[in-house]
Amino acid sequence: MKGDPARVAFHVQSALRHVEKMNRSSHAPQPLFSSNKRSVYLNWTGLSGWKLIPFSVAVLVMIPLAVVLFSFFTPSDDIWQHLVNTLLGRLLLNTFWLSLGVLGGTALLGISLAWLCATCDFPLRKFFNWALMLPMAIPAYVTAFVAIGLLDFSGPVQTNLRSWFGEDLSIPEIRSTGGVVLVMTLALYPYVYLLARNAFLSQGRRAMEAVQSLGHGRWRGFFRVALPMGRPWIFGGLMLVLMETLADFGTVSIFNYDTFATAIYKAWFGFFSLSSASQLASLLILIVFVLLWVEQKLTARTRYTQVEKCSARGDRIALRPLTGWLVCAYASAVFLTAFVIPVTQLSVWTMQVFENDFDVRYFSFLSHSLFLGGMGALLTVGTALLLVYAHRLHGSPFNRLMVRIATLGYALPGTVLAVGLFIPLAWLDNKLIALGKAWFSWDLGLILNGTLTAMLLAYLIRFLAVAHHPVQSAIKRITPSIDETSRSLRVSGFSMLRKIHLPILRGGLLTAATLVFVDIMKEMPITLMTRPFGWDTLAIRIYEMTSEGEWERAALPAMVLVLTGLFPIMLLTRNTREDGYGK
């Protein structure tokens, strides 16, 4: 059964036709297979081991979550009381204004650009259609230190403006709430743009024409029809933005803007109080759970139907020449600010410091990043494959619940996950050390905490949802008849996964591995808080340089991360250009 997916599918379908022919024969007392899914599941009872996979992965995710939530009810220490009295109010206020500002900014940019690119015809529309997704390749903390390096009081922009217009020129401070909101908006708006654009493309033009036939203009039609119809996709993008905002550590630490993510890190590594860090983490988890509950309530009873796809040039709104060029200028300003200027400034700084700063250490930074990204992607995608396949074999309501819990880790901020894993791993380390001393008189030292095992477990929990979606989408394209035919040929369980599904799932697995690899390469808080001593990566190098204000020296590792992040974004843009209705 080896070979390309087309050949495997051909042989399996041929065998299926042979089995159906036997079933229709008078010699067969009853069909070998029933179209009823429940009867198919009854024939899989021998695969009991697969039923444990979703449950086991869900338990792995629930352990750090339960540890963090349990700390909310533990007695408070003096440090926690100090944080409550002096810092907690500011944390809540900063988090509220940051979330509100980033949500508003990303909604404004993402929805407006998506509507213009999906439904209007203007100069360079085909270019902006995919180019506006490129800022996803730049981590928000990279955009942050580039913005500060350019716009700070001693930066080149303010220096030149004061030399041109006088020293008394008043310029807004970049190190402010508005500054961090602006940076995170430019880094995160593609989440809303991508989903909203797909929503507007699926609506077509008939709905707008119906509204205009009732005497309403285009703007009224947009707010009364297009925007409500695209609400599920837009709301999904905004929820992703909100989760990324709450989980962000690098950007807010560069701006010295206190949020729960930075407070958790300072409580652990500044005050050396793990209990205070876990209590702060529990508050953040409660906020995340409330937001997830609100999302579920708002979307549970809504039903939307796709009308048509906007594909032809004539389906788009033809703007007047002046209006079209104004729209082009708007899209150009966003693209230049969010992508071109940061990448250009990183290139300039990299060339300035490369000769003096580049040494053998960078081979270590790069190798560590590549190793963690590769191993983490392999572990995460492999687990996602087993999870999806087990759910395919046993699609019971309980397994569906376990899959949802197992993919909950993406909603956990990295700082929360680091704290939630450290506590149970430290307890397990202490038990193993005590057993080693009692039985063998061995001093085993740390076995799990402070090792690569802890890092990879954290990556697995955090990014399993990223790998799960493309693998699940790919396996849904495999018809159940292929599985039935494989079992008729006595190929089932892991053999069916290896011989039948893996060749067909190759594209989905590659996509999942690429996305997880890049996310791990950019991940900062988990790596910073769980890495072994001396195990520095490119992201850690950026953190160390930016914490000292060395923007130029942070450019070299940042440039490598940006180039790495461009690869999956180019895959997305290629799919956009090849899509029949995205041209």
Q: Which domain does 488 fall in, by range? A: 46-71+362-536
User: 3-state class of 300 per DSSP?
Assistant: coil
pLDDT category of residue 407 using cuts at 50, 70 and 90: confident
Say if 503 falls within a structural domain: yes
Cα–Cα distance for residue pair 257/535, rounded to 1 Å: 27
pLDDT category of residue 210 using cuts at 50, 70 and 90: low
pLDDT for the residue 572: 66
CATH assignment of the domain containing 475: 1.10.3720.10
Say if 477 falls within a structural domain: yes
Cα–Cα distance for residue pair 386/402, rounded to 1 Å: 13
pLDDT for the residue 346: 93
pLDDT for the residue 6: 47
**104-108, 156-160, 189-193, 479-483: the lowest-pLDDT one:** 479-483
Question: pLDDT digit string (tens) for 163-198?
Answer: 888 777 778 888 899 999 999 999 999 989 988 887
The 8 Å CB, 24+ separation contacts for 291-297 are 291/239, 291/242, 291/243, 292/411, 295/235, 295/239
Strand partners, 124: none
pLDDT category of residue 23 using cuts at 50, 70 and 90: very low
Alpha-carbon distances, residue 210 vs 207, 226, 265, 270 (angstroms)? 5, 12, 54, 61
Cα–Cα distance for residue pair 96/99, rounded to 1 Å: 5
The encoded tokens of residue 509 equal 């697995």
Q: Are 102 and 245 in contact (CB under 8 A)?
A: yes
pLDDT for the residue 461: 92
Cα–Cα distance for residue pair 190/134, rounded to 1 Å: 8
Q: Count structural domains, the chain.
A: 1
Say if 516 falls within a structural domain: yes
Say if 249 falls within a structural domain: no
**33-47, 61-75, 473-487, 550-564: the lowest-pLDDT one:** 33-47
Name, in order, each residue with C-beta under 8 angstroms of 234's C-beta and a sequence gap of 6 or more.
Answer: 107, 110, 111, 192, 195, 196, 199, 227
The answer to whether the pTM exceeds 0.95 is no
**DSSP strand pairing (120-121 vs 317-318):** parallel
As a whole number, the mean pLDDT across the chain is 79
**38-42, 88-92, 146-150: the lowest-pLDDT one:** 38-42
Q: Where are the beta strands (DSSP E) in 55-181?
A: 120-121
Say if 306 falls within a structural domain: no
Res. 310: pLDDT tops 50? no
Average pLDDT estimate for 440-454 = 70
Say if 302 falls within a structural domain: no
CA angle (373, 61, 395) in 5-degree steps: 100
Say if 160 falls within a structural domain: no
Question: pLDDT digit string (tens) for 248-266?
Answer: 898 999 998 989 888 888 8
Say if 398 falls within a structural domain: yes
